[in-house]
Structure 1
Amino acid sequence: MSPTQTAPNVILQVQDLAVSYGHIEAVKGISLTLNEGEITALVGANGAGKSTSLLAISGLVKATRGKVIFNGEDLTQQSPHRIVGSGVVQVAEGRATLTTLTIEENLSLGAYTRKDKAAVAGDLEWVYSLFPVLKQRAKGLAGNLSGGEQQMLAIGRALMARPKVLLLDEPSMGLAPLIIQEIFRIVKEINKTGMTVLLVEQNVRQALRIAQRGYVLETGKIVLEDTGANLLHNPKVVEAYLGG
């Protein structure tokens, strides 16, 4: 680090986190660090434990050991709604939009923990600026959206909670290549506002292209950690995930 550089501010730490489903240990004591204002990628093959790791950070599954520390506060035993209220918000794998509600109603539900109505209205306009198609169809049912539009809605709904850390679980899953490019472009735009992002992805190349830092997860263990750029050119990553 040069004399003019300052150490990054750590906003969230995962310490020796383990999760079991019955007798099967899906996550085997992982540790990772999120620096404030950065995109950090957690990549690996299907079944590596990526989504389970996010669910444990969000409190949606209970860790068998380890801690999640957010801004110095231990979140490990807190309820999911308290974790959201503290500023850690997850976009679930599979989008989980409420298809019988309108787009506007879905977005409003994202702000259910907030009382600042004027700020909520401002954030709604910000979300519509990121996703113009949602504004055009605001009064329509979410169930009538395409897969890519539902992913945009899921991200927009999470943003309405005004997160400090945004957890994205497989945002590219099942989407056409052009839509994937658009989703990743928007993730970069969100990050430019200063929001910290933890991006879980099977699309290793795309994730590492936009991440400042990354971790590679294999069978519940972190096997590599480096900058996104270095991981993108790491021979082990190239061979295992990038068709090298």
Structure 2
Amino acid sequence: MTAALQVRGLMVRYGHVEAVRGIDFTLEQGGITALVGANGAGKSTTLLALSGLVPKAAGSVVFNGEDITRLAPHQIVARGIIQVPEGRAILTTMTVRENLELGAYRCGNNGAPKDFDYVFALFPRLKERLDGLAGNLSGGEQQMLAIARALMAKPRLLLLDEPSMGLAPLLVQEIFHALRAINADGLTLFLVEQNVRQALRIAQQGYVLENGNLALSGSGAELLNDPRVLHAYLGVVSQGNY
């Protein structure tokens, strides 16, 4: 497969603290890649660095053959790298429609009818709540809106930071079903998640981040069956040594 994004030697510091310690990874074009690990491992920092929202202390980021390491956040967005942030960050005092229209801003319009139809097919509840305030949505509906708003920007790469956080199990299933559908349409996804089982189930490629270092990598299926992942993240007690 062709690489959509290549990251080499990425390092991020907060003062004297190394949050991300010189990691290498590749996102394959049209695939789902998961970055999993415990809280505080450096997963969200990695996404923020890719989006240009925190400075990189070292390393390079190449997107579709272009070095974007030093680009500003708005320039990275202009290349089609769109992030769904942790905590959703929807505009609660605006309507669902207005949030979606803002998502389409980078395309120079308020969104084409076919773009609205696409996100409504994924998330029918948003169409029902279109002219209501986004702040009145449930947590799951707000996550749907955050993803839909990002899709309105016509991304070439979608970065998702903890999309299942705080959601009930049925809503988690609904969100991950939508992510599968989005990827099936050809969009490359980079998924940061604490829900290791769900993330690795849908990912073709996965990486495990521990204390800012990449500890493991492999296909999603391989990592789901790795004794170290089972023991550390899924609570399965190994019967043997590893």
TM-score band by shorter chain is: over 0.9
The answer to whether structure 1 residue 202 and structure 2 residue 194 are counterparts is yes
The answer to whether structure 1 residue 190 and structure 2 residue 182 are counterparts is yes
| Counterpart position of 1:167 | 159
The answer to whether structure 1 residue 104 and structure 2 residue 97 are counterparts is yes
Q: 1:96 to 1:116 in 2, by over 3 A?
A: closer
Contact 1:45 1:202 in 2 (8 A): yes
Q: Distance in 2 between matches of 1:22 and 1:124?
A: 43
What amino acid is aligned across from residue 151 of structure 1 in structure 2?
A: Q
Q: CA RMSD in A?
A: 1.0
Which of 107, 112, 123 matches 1:114? 107
The answer to whether structure 1 residue 34 and structure 2 residue 20 are counterparts is no
The answer to whether structure 1 residue 221 and structure 2 residue 194 are counterparts is no
Contact 1:114 1:120 in 2 (8 A): no
| Counterpart position of 2:131 | 139
Superimposed CA distance per residue, residues 80-115 of structure 1 (whole angstroms, 9 cap, x where no aligned partner): 111111011100000000000000100110111113
| Counterpart position of 1:58 | 51
* Unaligned segments of structure 1, at least 5 residues: 1-7
| Counterpart position of 2:74 | 81
Q: Distance in 1 between matches of 2:108 and 2:81?
A: 18
Contact 1:17 1:30 in 2 (8 A): yes
What amino acid is aligned across from residue 124 of structure 1 in structure 2?
A: F
Runs of at least 4 residues off by over 3 Å: none
Which of 126, 131, 145 matches 1:153? 145
The answer to whether structure 1 residue 123 and structure 2 residue 119 are counterparts is no
Q: Distance in 1 between matches of 2:168 and 2:79?
A: 34
| Counterpart position of 2:240 | none
The secondary structure found in structure 1 opposite 2:112 is: helix
Q: Distance in 1 between matches of 2:2 and 2:138?
A: 38
Greater Cα offset, 152-161 or 119-128: 119-128
Q: Distance in 2 between matches of 1:160 and 1:228?
A: 28
Which of 12, 19, 22 matches 1:19? 12
Contact 1:42 1:216 in 2 (8 A): yes
Which of 217, 234, 240 matches 1:242? 234
The secondary structure found in structure 2 opposite 1:172 is: coil
Identity of aligned residues (%): 63
Superimposed CA distance per residue, residues 23-71 of structure 1 (whole angstroms, 9 cap, x where no aligned partner): 1010001111000110000000000000000000001111000111101
| Counterpart position of 1:4 | none
The secondary structure found in structure 1 opposite 2:106 is: coil
Superimposed CA distance per residue, residues 199-227 of structure 1 (whole angstroms, 9 cap, x where no aligned partner): 00000000000000100000000010100
Q: Distance in 2 between matches of 1:167 and 1:120?
A: 23
* Unaligned segments of structure 2, at least 5 residues: 237-242
The secondary structure found in structure 1 opposite 2:158 is: strand
Q: Distance in 2 between matches of 1:216 and 1:100?
A: 37
1:120 Cα deviation after fit: 2.8
Contact 1:98 1:106 in 2 (8 A): yes
Q: TM-score, normalised by structure 1?
A: 0.95
